[in-house]
């Protein structure tokens, strides 16, 4: 559709939403037209900011009738360009950020019903205020929204104990591609009425509808948390350490994040106010968080004992336990600043891979050696969620690489990494989703049966292809949406 032929639709949308909900102002739209990593740059016919589910439904009905594509957006912190429209200026950017009410929250129900635009950090605060906790957390908690977290089935740093977003969603309200409202907010522990539309919408990246609200599960508040930083020699030692902790401390261990020394170095270089936790520089580092609910025994003695045993047997080289909450926060800041530090560092290709947890240490070492052999001068910096079998396996450009290295060499390095992961039975997207960044690769190496089923679901629910076309679902030519 040409921009001129969009005029009647834009007029109707503007009339329906008013000035607070409709803009075509280039300056207002600009920050939302490129992704967090600044890899994708789009344009939009207008940016809409509805204030209610009914407004979202009207927007979708109008766009569906006009066959105009909608790109839903929350905090725009996604890592795969899923919330960035194409450059053609003929798509509608639909921001859910104004829908930021927490409709209900209580300790008794141990749940919260949040609109899609609620920012994760605000949900954390609201849960704490009623004496509970929403356990999922990640570095972008100050901007990522409930709708975006659901639509990417986000993971983060406490998956080890609490799982991904998929397990924390009890109900969903959404607007489907024909403009109808699906009210799946009622929390039923048992419900066997067939296909689970809620689960289908989780991780759908806005391709099957727009999440407008969700009922989320809360867990008991943290009474005390202990955070330790450990230096050790290899990912294999790290996994053995995790298993030793699990044996000794059970479910108390909820965070276990792995960082190579190169990752620590870039954080110290680019993130002001960060300090190395240990005097000794070790090849690998692990951040461990152990928690106990209110009234339960402090995990500190068990943590000290487990670390002491590991030092004695030579499994680890050095360790410290944060002496205060401020020190604990400082350790987490190092971990949570990885993405930002990387964005300031040299060019690199980013991968979000998973293999079976027990295969990951071996995979990390062998795959890094293979990549560095195949692409001389590059270096692999793999970090993250070892206990989930998920690391961000990033390939850094050689010293003195050309400014266009990412464009010229990036695709070949990514294909190589993804082939290695696939050969190991793993996934090319563990937690960030597919978006536009991984679509071609999914199409290249994804299981054809699974891809055909995904395309069939997409066609059935979104026959005009108006919901976030060009993201997540590889479609045949001519089916890619308006
Ligand atoms: P957006 O980026 O706005 O959108 C993401 C996708 O969801 C897009 O496809 C968009 O179209 C769709 N979408 C958004 N809202 C809706 C809605 N209401 N209905 C339908 N579709 C919608 N991710 C992890 O999993 N683990 C991490 O540890 C992690 N750490 C991060 C650290 C940093 C510093 C940053 C910048 C990002 C990190 N991320 C991580 C990625 C990101 O935070 C998550 O993908 C998050 O879920 C995105 O939320 P958002 O609101 O910003 O979504
Ligand atoms: C993380 O684990 O830090 C995030 O997923 C972001 C990233 O991959 O850089
Ligand atoms: Zn991650």
Complete domains list, the chain, with CATH: 4-95 (3.30.43.10), 102-220 (3.30.465.10), 223-339 (3.30.70.2190), 346-434 (3.30.70.2740)
Choice from 338, 352, 395, 438 to test ligand 2 binding pocket (greatest atom count within 8 A of CB): 338
CA 463 to chain centre: 28
| Contacts of residue 79, Cβ cutoff 8 Å, sequence gap at least 6 | 35, 36, 37, 339, 350, 352, 432, 433, 435, 437
* Assessment of whether the complete model's pTM goes beyond 0.95: yes
Containing 223, the helix (H) or strand (E) segment is strand 222-232
Q: How many A from CA of 65 to the centre of ligand 3?
A: 39
What is residue 1's predicted lDDT score, i.e. its pLDDT? Answer: 59
| Contacts of residue 462, Cβ cutoff 8 Å, sequence gap at least 6 | 177, 207, 208, 209
In the chain (482 residues long), the average pLDDT of successive 10-residue segments reads 83 98 98 97 98 98 98 98 96 98 97 98 98 98 99 97 97 98 91 94 98 98 97 98 94 96 98 97 98 95 96 98 98 98 96 98 98 98 98 98 97 98 98 98 96 96 97 82 78
Question: For ligand 1, what atom is nearest to the CA of residue 139?
Answer: 32
Choice from 59, 78, 95 to test ligand 1 binding pocket (greatest atom count within 8 A of CB): 78
Task: Indicate if ligand 1 lies below 6 Å from the C-beta of 319.
Answer: no
Helices vs. strands in the chain: H and E counts, helices first = 17, 19
Q: How many A from CA of 478 to the centre of ligand 3?
A: 34
What is residue 8's predicted lDDT score, i.e. its pLDDT? Answer: 97
Choice from 33, 73, 461 to test ligand 1 binding pocket (greatest atom count within 8 A of CB): 73
User: Which one of the ligands is nearest to 345 CA?
Assistant: 2
What is residue 345's predicted lDDT score, i.e. its pLDDT? Answer: 96
User: To 10 degrees, what angle do helices 7-21 and 53-66 make?
Assistant: 170
What is residue 2's predicted lDDT score, i.e. its pLDDT? Answer: 59
R_g over Cα of the chain:
23
């Amino acid at each position: 559709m040409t921009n001129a032929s969009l005029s009647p639709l834009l007029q109707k949308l503007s009339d329906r939403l008013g000035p607070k909900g409709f803009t075509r102002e280039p300056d207002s739209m600009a920050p939302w037209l490129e992704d967090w990593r600044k890899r994708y740059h789009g344009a939009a016919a207008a940016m809409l900011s509805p204030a209610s589910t009914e407004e979202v439904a009207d927007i979708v009905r109008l766009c569906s009738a006009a066959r105009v594509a909608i790109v839903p957006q929350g905090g725009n912190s996604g890592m795969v360009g899923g919330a960035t429209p194409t450059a053609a200026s003929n798509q509608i950017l639909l921001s859910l950020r104004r829908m930021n009410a927490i409709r209900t929250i209580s300790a008794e129900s141990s749940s919260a019903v949040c609109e899609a635009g609620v920012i994760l950090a605000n949900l954390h605060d609201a849960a704490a205020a009623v004496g509970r906790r929403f356990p999922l957390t990640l570095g972008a908690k100050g901007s990522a929204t409930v709708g975006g977290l659901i639509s990417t089935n986000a993971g983060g740093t406490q998956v080890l104990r609490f799982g991904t977003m998929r397990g924390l969603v009890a109900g969903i309200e959404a607007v489907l591609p024909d403009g109808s409202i699906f009210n799946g907010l009622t929390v039923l522990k048992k419900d066997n009425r067939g296909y689970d539309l809620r689960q289908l919408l989780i991780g759908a990246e806005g391709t099957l509808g727009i999440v407008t609200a969700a009922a989320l599960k809360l867990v008991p508040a943290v009474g005390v948390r202990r955070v330790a930083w450990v230096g050790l020699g290899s990912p294999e030692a790290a996994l053995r350490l995790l298993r030793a902790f699990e044996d000794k401390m059970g479910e108390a261990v909820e965070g276990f994040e792995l960082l190579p020394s190169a990752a620590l170095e870039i954080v110290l270089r680019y993130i002001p106010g960060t300090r190395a936790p240990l005097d000794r520089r070790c090849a690998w580092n692990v951040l461990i968080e152990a928690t106990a609910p209110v009234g339960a025994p402090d995990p500190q003695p068990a943590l000290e004992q487990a670390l002491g045993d590991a030092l004695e047997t030579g499994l680890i080289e050095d360790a410290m336990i944060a002496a205060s909450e401020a020190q604990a926060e400082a350790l987490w800041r190092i971990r949570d600043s990885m993405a930002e530090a990387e964005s300031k560092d040299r060019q690199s290709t980013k991968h979000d891979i998973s293999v079976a947890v027990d295969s990951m240490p071996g995979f990390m070492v062998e795959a890094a050696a293979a990549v560095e052999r195949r692409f001389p001068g590059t270096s692999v910096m793999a970090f993250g969620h070892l206990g989930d079998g998920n690391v961000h396996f990033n390939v850094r450009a050689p010293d003195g690489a050309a400014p266009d290295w990412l464009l010229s060499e990036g695709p070949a390095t990514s294909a190589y990494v993804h082939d290695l992961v696939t050969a190991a039975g793993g996934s090319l997207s563990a937690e960030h989703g597919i978006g536009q960044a991984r679509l071609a690769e999914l199409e290249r190496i994804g299981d054809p049966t699974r891809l055909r089923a995904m395309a069939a679901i997409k066609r059935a629910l979104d026959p005009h292809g108006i919901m976030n076309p060009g993201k997540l679902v590889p479609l045949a030519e001519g089916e890619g949406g308006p």
